[in-house]
Structure 1
Amino acid sequence: MTTHPQPSAGQCPAHEQTPPTTGPNPIYGDAFSADPHATYRRLRAQGPIVPVEISPGVYGYLAVTYRAAVYLLRNTPSRFAKDPRHWEALRLGQVPADSPALMMMQPRDNALWKDGPEHTRLRNAINTAVAQVDTHALAAAVTGIADQLIDTFAATGQADMVAQYSDPLPMLTVINMFGCSQELGMRIVGAVTRLFDGADVEQANAELEAACLELTHLKRRAPGRDVASYLIAAGLTDAEMVQTILLVIGAAAPPTSNLVGNGLRRVLTDPSFAGSVHAGVRPVTDALEEVLWDNPPVPNYSPLYAIGQQSYEGVDLWPGYPILVSFAAANGDPTLVVAPGARAGNKGHLAFSAGVHGCPAPDLGRLIAETALERVLDRLPGLDLAVPENELHNRPGTFLAGLTALPVRFQPDTRLAPHGR
């Protein structure tokens, strides 16, 4: 078994990892964002769980094999806690206030960061709320939103499907689900996206919490048939409402935006999908499932903390350090028996996490993404990339995986004016 001296609070854990490393492995920055899977392969060669630098000056571990990821998630909370109060550097005030990791990993009054009975209570409130969503009405709402967005560019014969479609569609859909105005909803989702991207995180967090509190007060005065009102009916306090709205919208909108964008890229560039999906031979669900395997929208997250010193396959895990799960690295683990061409219909991936903190409503995310892709393929004949695939670039960041832009061309719809109906 590999052993380590107890590290100091500011020291990288497992600094004597075998095989030895010359320093912490960063999972941020331009090189990582350009080709994260190259980083995952290098880390996987070092072990199943390896020391990393999550953001500048913030150290922890990253699980990079499927077995290790499942072990961590299935042993939460018996061996690994979610509560960030176990994070030693945070407790000692050593995490920079403007750190992207801090805003994504700090304690919040919602189910994601709780253990035991408190987690169960808050999780049940979310389960009850999302269970009341009418999926038929949701599909109809997504179709209407998709058509409105497509109408704005269908006559031009070209578009950026990220900025003009995959980014706004899930945002507008979630706004509809929460029953709030477009202006308030866009403030919430815009701030969530900035948190995921690590942009101006302190200001984004403050704006997000203020907007979520405004929505809470609005729904207490005038409840409706929407997710926010259902959460209030479950008995959540204002503080819990703010952080639960933040959690649900954060889990629903930016990741689904990336799933739509990456799914469309897959349809347009993968020979096994291009053409066949347009002809209706192979459903878009297959393309989306491949994306969930190969390029999950949330590649690295679910911070955990060892309860006492733990060991996994010879790697010592010291308490006090966050252990992130790399869903992207786990899904790409070469020891998995699922071949890349045989993943359609196989939901064994970890794109929606697993265990007691797994996504409570993956089918709603799938429904939004499937409907969005189907409307694009129905409405835009001759759809194709407008640039070579090697000119497509990933968004920077540790916690979210998506494209900065997806330029396309298609046959213009002459029935529409260039600026919509």
Structure 2
Amino acid sequence: MSLTTPYDPPSPAGWSEAPASTVTAHDHTPVPLYTPEFAADPHWFYAEMRRKFGSLVPVELSPGIAATLVIGYRAAVQINNDPQRFRADPRTWEKNIPADCPVLPMLQYRPNALRSAGQAHERYRKASVDSIDAINLYGIHLEIEQMAIPQINTFCLDGQADLISQYALPVTFAYLNAMVGCPADIGQQVAQGMAMMFEGTEAGEGSALFARALLELVQLKQIKPGEDVTTRLVTHAAELTDEELVHQLVTIYGAGIEPLTNLIANTVLLMLTDDRFSGATASTTRDALNELLFKDPPLANFGITYPAQPSKVEGVWLPPNQPVVTSMSACNNDPAISGVHHGNNSHLAWGTGPHACPAQDVAYSVAHNAIDQLFDALPEIQLAHPADQLIWRPGPFHRSLAKLPVVFPPSRTLF
């Protein structure tokens, strides 16, 4: 099914025709979020979840790892803006989680803003926000041009490319490495570790590789500072330890590599499959990005919190110290909110509340410029296969294509 095809699925056997009203979130069999079937068409599953459960759904993030998925917009805003009841610190939960759990590296405690609460969160958050806010947004256009053109030159003569591995991913890597002042060799280790963690395959090994690479970066910046985010973290008044510095970078890379790559690729897919984004009266890249962030955000399910005690939301009791995961994708498509996307930034793609993404302006600008550079260089680009033949990578958190194969008239290299 393409991104633009409306869906109205039949109700399969075993699914209720109406959502439950006042129930316990785990009265029913949990829905697995890690299967290829879910990855292939998550919106079908979200619609069926809504029919059966309402706003709060019992799910499994990996086999045997229970969680509650929030698919109602208002419930998500309520939960994510109530850090007293819904804390981001997972340490009580993870005490009983096996070390080889494939999603543990994505959820486990780290001394950073994403996985902490109270004064610790405020300290880490300020260091990260101050370091990111110093980025010159007006310079991103030139930076992306200097990264995108050499990358396009590697395939423009071929007449075909995979825009994930040959464009979105390397451009994202190049920008993030420049942003944090990371040499290419260390950055490649970071990328490999992050991919292993997001996919849940060899996640423990990926987490260790990730941490080692970032410690190497921190130690490099302590000796050779620069004009970059890592140096600003190293010299920040918060006086972060080496371990804390590593884990602030974990957040930056974790929120950057996979989600930003997917934001670029998925928006390109939308523009290639929707007639509104072609022709003389085409909508703009900005329109496509805004719509994509609403309809199919690249980080589909995240914003994870842990109730400190049994908590009731919309008539549902949530178990204490069990993950509550916000489905930004399902919440954005909640029928209870408006479906108007043009010029509307009320989506939850960047999160909401005290743990919302602090680098959303940077990410948006990088994606916007990367997409514009691609279509400026190759305006006749088309999908190599029908959209419904594309494969989506399994995983409970991301909305990620395995490949985005395209064709175009071979073009001369750019300068």
- Give the equivalent residue in structure 2 for 1:240: 244
Q: After TM superposition, give the deviation of residue 172 of structure 1 in Å.
A: 1.0
Aligned 8 A contact 1:381 1:411 in 2: no
Q: Of the candidates 216, 225, 228, which is equivalent to residue 227 of structure 2?
A: 225
Q: After TM superposition, give the deviation of residue 255 of structure 1 in Å.
A: 0.5
- Give the equivalent residue in structure 2 for 1:82: 88
- Give the equivalent residue in structure 1 for 2:390: 392
Q: What is the aligned-residue RMSD (CA, Å)? A: 1.5
How far apart in 2 are the matches of 1:301 and 1:122?
A: 19
Aligned 8 A contact 1:189 1:250 in 2: no
How far apart in 2 are the matches of 1:393 and 1:84?
A: 32
- Give the equivalent residue in structure 2 for 1:251: 255
Aligned 8 A contact 2:260 2:367 in 1: yes
- Give the equivalent residue in structure 1 for 2:64: 57
Q: 1:352 corresponds to which letter in structure 2? A: W
- Give the equivalent residue in structure 1 for 2:35: 29
- Give the equivalent residue in structure 1 for 2:331: 330
Residues 360-369 or 185-194, more deviating: 185-194
Structural mapping, 1:159-198, within 5 Å: 159-198=161-200
Secondary structure at the aligned position of 1:296 is classed as coil
Aligned 8 A contact 1:27 1:39 in 2: no
How far apart in 1 are the matches of 2:180 and 2:312?
A: 43
Q: 1:406 corresponds to which letter in structure 2? A: L
Aligned 8 A contact 1:171 1:254 in 2: no
The reply on whether 1:291 has 2:292 as its aligned counterpart is yes
Provide Cα deviations, 1:231-272, integer angstroms capped at 9, x if missing partner.
111121100011111110111221010000001001110122
How far apart in 2 are the matches of 1:309 and 1:98?
A: 27
Secondary structure at the aligned position of 1:125 is classed as helix
How far apart in 2 are the matches of 1:381 and 1:123?
A: 41
Q: After TM superposition, give the deviation of residue 312 of structure 1 in Å.
A: 1.2
How far apart in 1 are the matches of 2:357 and 2:26?
A: 33
Aligned 8 A contact 2:103 2:203 in 1: no
Aligned 8 A contact 1:175 1:186 in 2: no
Q: Of the candidates 140, 149, 152, which is equivalent to residue 150 of structure 1?
A: 152
Structural mapping, 1:273-352, within 5 Å: 273-276=277-280, 281-337=282-338, 339=339, 342-352=340-350
Secondary structure at the aligned position of 2:256 is classed as helix
Aligned 8 A contact 2:30 2:57 in 1: no
Percentage of identical aligned residues: 37
Q: Of the candidates 123, 130, 139, which is equivalent to residue 137 of structure 1?
A: 139
The reply on whether 1:15 has 2:26 as its aligned counterpart is yes
* Structure 1 stretches lacking a partner, 5+ long: 5-13
Q: 1:55 corresponds to which letter in structure 2? A: S
Q: Of the candidates 268, 274, 284, which is equivalent to residue 270 of structure 1?
A: 274
Q: After TM superposition, give the deviation of residue 99 of structure 1 in Å.
A: 2.1
Secondary structure at the aligned position of 1:381 is classed as coil
* Structure 2 stretches lacking a partner, 5+ long: 1-20
Secondary structure at the aligned position of 1:54 is classed as strand
How far apart in 2 are the matches of 1:28 and 1:292?
A: 22
How far apart in 1 are the matches of 2:159 and 2:379?
A: 10
Number of aligned residue pairs: give it.
392
Q: After TM superposition, give the deviation of residue 121 of structure 1 in Å.
A: 0.7
